[in-house]
Amino acid sequence: MWSFLSNSVALYELFSVTFETSYLSFLLDWIAFLILGYFQWFKLLPYIIGKLRKDRLPGSDQGK
């Protein structure tokens, strides 16, 4: 029983915002997450998709 209780306390400490975690660090984590998410979805993925399309589909120069 005590091991279950200590595990649940450890999980609470892990997922709690106020347990030894300041709101400033929580806010900075979210800001970093949003900036990296924006970079991934709107900069990196279109670049990768464009590269894959160029490699697989020759495009309009095939008919010339």
The pTM is what?
A: 0.45
Instruction: Establish if 9 belongs to a structural domain.
Output: no
Output the six-digit token pair for 3.
């091991």
What letter represents residue 19's amino acid?
Answer: F
12 versus 47: the higher-pLDDT residue is 47
pLDDT band of residue 64 (cuts 50, 70, 90) is very low
Number of domains, the chain: 1
Output the six-digit token pair for 17.
């915002």
Helices (H) and strands (E) in the chain, counts: 3, 0
39 SS3 class = helix
C-alpha Rg value of the chain to the nearest Å: 23
Output the six-digit token pair for 7.
């595990």
Instruction: Establish if 15 belongs to a structural domain.
Output: no
Instruction: Establish if 27 belongs to a structural domain.
Output: yes
Domain that holds residue 35: 21-57
